[in-house]
Copies of this chain bind each other. A is one copy, B any other.
Amino acid sequence: LLSLYPESAGIVTSDGESSQAFKVHKGMGLINHVFNADSLKKLYVSNLGIGHTRYSTSGISELQNCQPFVVETLHGKIAVAHNGELTNAVRLRRKLMRHGVGLSTSSDSELITQLLAFTPPLENDDTADWVARIKNLMNETPTSYSLLIMHKDIIYAVRDPYGNRPLCIGRLIPVGDMNGKGKDNSETEGWVVSSESCSFLSIGAEYYREVLPGEIVKISRYEVQTLDVVPRPEGDPSAFCIFEYVYFARPDSIFEGQMVYSVRRRCGQQLAIEAPVEADLVSTVPESATPAALGYAQKCGLPYVEVLCKNRYVGRTFIQPNMRLRQLGVAKKFGVLSDNFKGKRVVIIDDSIVRGNTISPIIKLLRESGAKEVHIRVASPPIRFPCYMGINIPTKEELIANRPEFHDLANYIGADSVVYLSVEGLVSSVQESIKARQESENSLKTQKSRAGKIGHCTACLTGEYPVELEW
């Protein structure tokens, strides 16, 4: 769907004692290119550090924009990693510059870092009250940000009051002997914080809990402690990005107590209810639409069959200028398992259609290889609006749902039929089990009350932004 190649990465570590002794390594490109044995060795000064991987978003791709940002303040160095995009960045930049701060990048992350350094009152400011500074920052800007702020031996994990971007905590499990046996699992070896829980297993950690919307969590070697929860304006529901479920997150990630894979399968099931079709088999555009396809197939009672196999070693596919080249590109990316569908009526589940440039040659390929009918079912609603909260969505003009072709989409992409999941269907697929759990679990009451009313940001689908946008 969207370009998701990491374009920069950085790690800052602290020795936990001196407020000056940060080790920093950042670079452009894939993580494996940025870090090697040497740079990792250089960084290894303690068990304390924060990192950041940047994907294509609105910031200009330059090394200078690489996170984490490190600045020296009157109270020592702080390092800040930020995920999100401030809806009032322009006003805040002007405010800082009026105060005499020169800003060296266009990134919101530098802005946040300087706001933390700057936050008044600064006269007679001989102690650094970082929590006050963080709350000050949160009062200046409502959304969207998940933050990690490191100072000496403390990491502060912060989620904006709307909870727009994810952030969760994992617990490092004791290793025991080299075969994983021994040691008591109930002990805690340390803590990790991440946007996505899926990364925990691979570093020997287990999912502990989410940082709540508005919550400021203090993480030290042995302790995870809630310092405060900054509330939203009265009546505003939370606004976790629904697009994380639909597209960005890995299927094995957990948000709001549910596995992304399960949400996607429910979307497929819901789609089967909303848009059934008489066909012989259900298949997927591998791999991201597979959970929805399995859900659709199961709900319909049709067999799930593979019609395309993904080719290894295919590099990034670029937008090709004509149908012929697009078709060759698709045939390079996917192998066609023609014996599996020759003479059959095929339902293809895709997770989204942005420009139609991929699905269209796939349909042509399937027909030429013998498919009798090709029906497209999209397991998410059409994207129509820009995101100002950190997701790099194509321009309004590029989105197929805003183009004239959309009125006769099946014909345009060459399908026998095409139906999208409704917004309501998506929201209910996402919220169904959250609501069920809220009702059944009394024990969650406290947290629920602190987290406030549950909602989701559907701005890219509906144009309803969780806060008023400032320019």
Interface residues in chain A, defined as those with a beta carbon under 8 Å from any beta carbon in chain B: 6, 24, 30-32, 62-64, 69-74, 78, 93-94, 97-104, 110, 113-114, 116-120, 122, 125, 175, 178-180, 198, 201-204, 250-253, 258-259, 261-262, 287, 290-291, 294, 298, 303-306, 309-311, 313, 315, 322-324, 327-329, 331-332, 335-340, 364-365
- Nearest B-chain residue to A121, judged by Cβ: B100
Interface of chain A: mostly helix, strand, loop or mixed: mixed
Q: Are A339 and B262 in contact (CB under 8 A)?
A: yes
Bound-state CA distance A97–B178 (Å) is: 48
Q: Are A101 and B104 in contact (CB under 8 A)?
A: no
Q: Are A100 and B99 in contact (CB under 8 A)?
A: yes
Q: Closest approach, in angstroms, between the C-beta of A345 and any C-beta of chain B?
A: 19
Q: Taking A69-B104, A340-B261 as contacts, is the C-beta distance between A252 and B309 under 8 angstroms?
A: yes
Closest 4 CB pairs of A and B: A71-B102, A252-B335, A102-B117, A100-B118
Chain B residues whose CB sits within 8 angstroms of the CB of A204 once the complex forms: 324, 328
Q: Are B97 and A337 in contact (CB under 8 A)?
A: no
A74: contacting residue among B97, B113, B125, B305, CB under 8 A? B97
Q: Are B315 and A32 in contact (CB under 8 A)?
A: yes
- Nearest B-chain residue to A116, judged by Cβ: B102
Apart from the given pairs A69-B104, A258-B339, A291-B306, 4 other A-B contacts in the complex at a CB distance below 8 Å = A71-B102, A97-B117, A100-B118, A202-B329
A98: contacting residue among B97, B101, B122, B306, CB under 8 A? B122
- Nearest B-chain residue to A63, judged by Cβ: B63
Bound-state CA distance A69–B335 (Å) is: 30
Q: Are A337 and B71 in contact (CB under 8 A)?
A: no
Q: Are A6 and B313 in contact (CB under 8 A)?
A: yes
Bound-state CA distance A125–B291 (Å) is: 59
Provide 24 A-B residue pairs closer than 8 Å at the C-beta atoms, listed in order of the A residue: A24-B62, A74-B97, A98-B125, A100-B117, A101-B114, A101-B118, A102-B114, A179-B323, A180-B324, A180-B327, A198-B311, A202-B328, A202-B331, A203-B328, A250-B309, A250-B335, A251-B335, A252-B337, A259-B338, A261-B306, A261-B337, A261-B339, A287-B287, A294-B305
A337: contacting residue among B73, B251, B304, CB under 8 A? B251
Chain B residues whose CB sits within 8 angstroms of the CB of A119 once the complex forms: 100
Q: Are B259 and A201 in contact (CB under 8 A)?
A: no
